Amino acid sequence: MGVAPPLAVRLANVVRLHLANPWTPIIIPTLILAVIFLANLAIWNLIAYNTGNEDLSNVNNGGIAFVAIYMLVVATQTMNSTFPFALGYGVTRRDFYLGSSALFLMLSAGYAAGITVFALIERATSGWGLNASFFAPIYLGDLNAAEFFWVYFTLLVFFFFLGAATAAVYVRWRTTGMLVFFGGLLAIIIASIWLLSITDSFGAVGQFFVSAGLLGSHSWSLAVSALMAIAGYALLRRATPRN
């Protein structure tokens, strides 16, 4: 009987399996983000040319949010489509989930580093010469490189594991599970709003986030990401692939 390869090797194999087609997790989002940025840059220059105003500091763009939303989709596709294929090659559910999680953390770090570099370039060039903002939205303030990285890293980790947990629900219970999941989520949101209203706690919640600040709030999001990661694993370890 052969000796099983070390855990690191098994997880690396799962990562390579996910990256066998790099278009979905890396190439496509990078190209789309580049197109969105270049389109905005062209529009900014047209505005400046036609108005004679080269100060677009009041123009803010949320195009960078595309990356976070797309990573949710990537995580969902990864967990749903690759899961049965991996099991067919003898990968355990535990190794598959740990390897997928490692990939999510790697992608989060890679994208956060790339966005941070462009955010610093944007700041150094005074918003591409127009005081415009794309990679460094105005609400991020005067963050340094490490803080920029942390904000984007925690944001991407949150969306990756939200997608993983959602996909695990689908793999485990299919359409019925998704309906129950989103119905329950909506009920929890409504109940939370109702509870905060009757206890007059909105001010306290707002004060908590104000006290935590931007970096503190993003750091707290890691706790939610960890809970979603645990929930995703708990669901996936009992899931049966259907295809």
116-163 tens-digit pLDDT: 999 999 999 988 988 888 998 888 878 999 999 999 999 999 999 999
Are the beta carbons of 136 and 116 closer than 8 angstroms? Answer: no
Q: Is residue 2 situated within a structural domain?
A: no
| pLDDT value at residue 57 | 65
State residue 69 phi and psi, 5-degree precision. Answer: -65, -40
Q: Is residue 147 situated within a structural domain?
A: yes
Residue 32 has pLDDT above 50, yes or no: yes
Are the beta carbons of 57 and 129 closer than 8 angstroms? Answer: no
Distance of CA 23 to the CA centre of its chain: 17
| pLDDT value at residue 243 | 58
CA nearest neighbour of 32 among 1, 67, 79: 67
Q: Is residue 192 situated within a structural domain?
A: no
Q: What is the mean pLDDT of residues 158-173?
A: 94
Sign for the pseudo-dihedral over CA of 233, 237, 240, 243 = positive
Taking each continuous run of H as one helix and of E as one strand, the counts in the chain are 6, 0
Q: Is residue 186 situated within a structural domain?
A: no
| pLDDT value at residue 54 | 64
Residue 1 has pLDDT above 50, yes or no: no
- Say what the alpha-carbon torsion angle 120, 121, 124, 130 is, to the nearest 10 degrees: -120
Domain containing residue 125: 7-174+217-236
- pLDDT over 70 percentage in the chain: 95
The average confidence (pLDDT) of the chain is 91
Of residues 141 and 208, more confidently modeled: 208
Q: Is residue 183 situated within a structural domain?
A: no
The CA–CA distances, whole Å, from 89 to 17, 85, 93, 175 equal 10, 7, 11, 26
**Eight-class DSSP state of 133:** B
The Cα–Cα gap between 226 and 184 comes to 20
What 3-state class would DSSP assign to 103?
Answer: helix
Of residues 144 and 79, more confidently modeled: 144
Are the beta carbons of 160 and 107 closer than 8 angstroms? Answer: yes
Q: Is residue 211 situated within a structural domain?
A: no
| pLDDT value at residue 59 | 67
Angle at 72 between CA 185 and CA 181, to 5 degrees: 20
The Cα–Cα gap between 157 and 68 comes to 9
Q: Is residue 190 situated within a structural domain?
A: no
Query: Would you state the structure tokens that stand for residue 214, as one six-digit string?
Result: 């931007």
For the chain, what is the domain count? 1
| β-strand partners of 60 | 133
Are the beta carbons of 160 and 75 closer than 8 angstroms? Answer: yes
The Cα–Cα gap between 172 and 234 comes to 10
Are the beta carbons of 14 and 99 closer than 8 angstroms? Answer: yes
Q: Is residue 110 situated within a structural domain?
A: yes
Are the beta carbons of 166 and 158 closer than 8 angstroms? Answer: no
Q: What is the mean pLDDT of residues 91-101?
A: 96
